[in-house]
Amino acid sequence: MKKEASKDAIPALSKNAATVLEKRYLRRDVEGKVLEAPADMFRRVAETIAAPDGKFDKKADVKRLADTFYRMMTSFEFLPNSPTLMNAGRELGQLSACFVLPVGDSMEDIFDAVKFTALIHKSGGGTGFSFSRLRPANDVVSSTTGISSGPLSFMRVFDIATETIKQGGTRRGANMGILRVDHPNIMDFIMCKADQKQLNNFNISVGLTERFMQAVERDEEYDLINPRDRKVTGSLNARKVFSRIVRQAWENGEPGIIFLDRLNRDNPTPLVGEIESTNPCGEQPLLPYESCNLGSINLGMFVREGAIDWKRLKEVVHDSVHFLDNVIEANNYPLDQIREMTHANRKVGLGVMGWADMLILLGVPYNSEEAVKLGKKVMKFINDEGHLASQELGARRGSFPNYKGSIFDKKGAQPQRNATVTTIAPTGTISIIANASSGVEPLFAVSYIRTVMDKNVLVEVNPIFERIAKERGFYSEELMKKIAEHGTVADIPEVPADVRRVFVTAHDINPENHIQMQSAFQLHTDNAVSKTVNFPNTATIDDVEKVYMLAYESGCKGVTIYRDGSRDEQVLSTGKKEEQQAAVAATPVEDDKKAIKRDRPKALKGWTYQMQTGCGPLYVTINEDKTGLFELFTTMGKAGGCAASQSEAIGRMVSLAWRSGVQARQVVKQLLGISCHCPSGFGDNRVLSCADAVAKAIQAHTVASGYDINAESARQERGACPECGGIVEHEGGCSVCHVCGYSECA
């Protein structure tokens, strides 16, 4: 039966928005056929979220409210978090992005948490945990007279469960793992992702205390405390621990840091419990069993004739808080405990996207004092109006049940519907739908290149830049391609100076600018601010330390950094465990005496794999000796020329690497995801280039042979999207594709 076209009209979607909606959001039948248009999706969501008004007021005009919500979303002034768009009005009905679960210090509590995690991930949510309650490794277990295996061993159990559950569904499961800095196993935790081979379904952050930070500043010792009995078990030098955190973050972006005392300073319901963890991207501190109910206002839509439309912004803030409070009622929670706790505190998190767009439209450079001042002003307005909206709802519907003893009760404030109102979350996929810049981040790129299925190379241009370039007469396809190749307009003389001044990208600004902007928004945000501080590859460890200290000094609640290319680096051993160092790239061995290259036997056993590439069939032969993988040969069907010669060269270099002791995982990591102008296939069978085909053949061989090369993590550590090969941005501790909407953190 042919589906009727939607009667609702919405603004034209960008190519990327249409792709993301069709692939990840629109309702489908059991055969995968799309059953609704984008307008139908927005109408479905609007009607579902408006319906709870009838519960509070029998005379409520639910249809009118649904129209208000519909216009707000289809004008892209506001969008809720992805699960609400995906699931509202559908059978699953799970509308929250993420949850925090407790992990108690008993086998029963731990495996209850594993079970609950599986149920949450199955429903499309992410989870945050603190493992700080778990007794340290080798500690006594009185019930069995044995010894504890410690927090890290149980983190691996959660990681494996996530790996299993995430194989299905439209959103990957993601986790945040936090350990207090005073836990006896803190040094092992800091190093737990150093080799990038384990815990790849976790973001990790160290929970720092005020006492620890004061010890860092004074270069003093601080106590380690066993959570089992709260007794001091030893001490460490705070400066050395902090330096190790910084060095690991420099090497591969983790761990991040979270200031626990600051989270609890702003805990609105301290009598209910202590905040121990956040959601996977770090911006939403939650009590155990609480959930995130998030949405974002698109600031770029509120600039009229070079000025901010404060009147319309106020209206949308009030409607958005109303929307998010209704989400709590309409939500189908995966656990009874989560439903009860979420209803008891009714936390919502209204944030923003399109901040960089607003600055551009106002002619204000992101990396300017004026931008920081404006950020404080805009977020104060949103926070103040958001709390007024929550008070109005509280007057009509009642305050949240845990109001007594809350910070609002102590201040003698007006009735308050929601324990928190504002959160700055990363907006990876919903900002693609809105064709807006993400969160409070600067532009990632003014222009970039992507390859589409028909083998055409397309240049994607920021819509505001494209409009200005055409209006001012300097637009050309050649110029847009040149900008895409440079990634910035800072050094493009064809672009007028005043335009270059405002179209700054993430790598045009220094790390201090990132922290200043995060601090500006944090000042007027109830929860926390998701923000990634981007560093060039050449940044030093001291640069990272400076930013971590600046985040502490400027009032941030946490910080995540990413040094460009750092997750593609390999840790090389000098022969002494304490002298490991990160290389800027996978470096060849310069002294042959240091490498032991295996000699080739006269006979080897091998397997040949046929890989379909855009240049024709590629036959990849992999041979082994008694030690393991030994050599690789390629044959390019009937084709010759560059494809055949380059494939042969790849085979020779792979063979040399294997004979010199390089692991298969490292070879795959270097080759997987490299794309050319002529990809082939779809989905899991998609081959981006001959190099990508060789990597996939090695993967297939290692799986069949029983090797564990952690193939998926290798895909995700590259700068290219593992699903479409598009541009990937590191945002809020996650990799997000701005072409197809893929996110490693759901």
The whole-angstrom separation of Cα 329 and Cα 344 is: 12
Characterize the bridge pairing of strands 616-624 and 78-80. unpaired
Tell me: pLDDT of 230 over 90. yes
Average pLDDT of span 309-318: 98
Active site residue 283: yes
Contact 357, 430 (CB under 8 A): no
Sequence-distant (6+) residues with CB within 8 A of 349 are: 283, 284, 292, 293, 294, 295, 324, 420, 421, 422, 423, 425, 526, 527
Q: What is the pLDDT of residue 639?
A: 54
Per-residue pLDDT, averaged over 13-30, amounts to 90
- 124 pLDDT band, cuts 50/70/90, is confident
Q: Is 298 exposed, middle or buried (0-12, 13-18, 19+ CB in 10 A)?
A: buried
How far is 264 from 180, CA to CA, in rounded Å?
14
Mean pLDDT to the nearest integer, 550-568? 89
Strands (E), 214-348: 221-226, 231-237, 256-259, 277-278, 285-286, 294-298, 303-304, 307-308
List the catalytic residue out of 175, 267, 279, 367. 279
pLDDT above 90 for 290: yes
The pLDDT confidence band at residue 283, using thresholds 50, 70 and 90, is very high
Domain architecture of the chain: domains with CATH: 98-285 (3.20.70.20), 445-502 (no CATH), 601-718 (no CATH)
Strands 98-100 and 146-147: unpaired
Q: Is the pLDDT of residue 123 over 90?
A: no
Strands (E), 166-284: 175-180, 202-208, 221-226, 231-237, 256-259, 277-278
Integer Cα distance of 422 and 270 in angstroms: 18
27: alpha, beta or left? (left if phi > 0; alpha if psi -120 to 50)? beta
Q: Give the pLDDT confidence of 188-209 residue by residue, as tens digits.
A: 999 999 887 789 899 999 999 9
pLDDT of residue 572: 26
User: Has 281 been annotated as catalytic?
Assistant: yes
Residues 638 and 327: their CA atoms lie apart, in Å, by: 59
Q: Does position 5 have pLDDT exceeding 80, yes or no?
A: no
Q: Are 564 and 536 in contact (CB under 8 A)?
A: yes
Q: DSSP class of residue 601? A: P
Instruction: Indicate the helix (H) or strand (E) that contains 49.
Output: helix 38-50
Is 718's pLDDT higher than 50?
no
Query: What is the rounded distance in angstroms from the CA atom of residue 117 to the CA atom of residue 160?
Result: 11
Task: Identify the active-site residue in 283, 569, 631, 729.
Answer: 283
Residue 578 has pLDDT above 70, yes or no: no
User: What band does 379 get if pLDDT is binned at 50, 70 and 90?
Assistant: very high
Of 374, 400, 199, 169, nearest to 293 (Cα)?
400
| Strand spans (E) along 432-580 | 447-451, 457-461, 532-535, 558-563, 571-572
- Whole-structure pTM value: 0.80
Query: CA 99, CA 121: separation in Å to the nearest integer?
Result: 10
How open is the CA angle 27-28-30, to the nearest 5 degrees? 145
Lowest mean pLDDT, pick from 296-305, 400-409, 410-419, 662-671: 662-671
Q: What's the whole-number average pLDDT of the chain?
A: 87
pLDDT at 546: 96
Catalytic residue flag (residue 22): no
What's the rounded Cα separation, in Å, for the pair 486 and 144?
A: 62
The answer to which of 145-149, 418-422, 463-467 has the lowest mean pLDDT is 145-149
pLDDT at 2 over 70: no
Average pLDDT for 323-330: 98
Q: In this predicted model, which residue has the larger pLDDT, 169 or 541?
A: 541
Average pLDDT over residues 278-288: 95
Question: pLDDT digits over 486-543, tens only?
Answer: 878 998 999 999 999 999 998 899 999 999 999 999 999 999 999 889 888 899 999 9
**Most confident among 276-285, 583-592, 622-631 (mean pLDDT):** 276-285
Q: What angle (nearest 5°) sits at the alpha carbon of residue 259, between those of residues 561 and 262?
A: 135
Please report the pLDDT score of residue 454 as a whole number: 44
Which of 21-25, 225-229, 292-296, 391-395 is predicted least confidently?
21-25
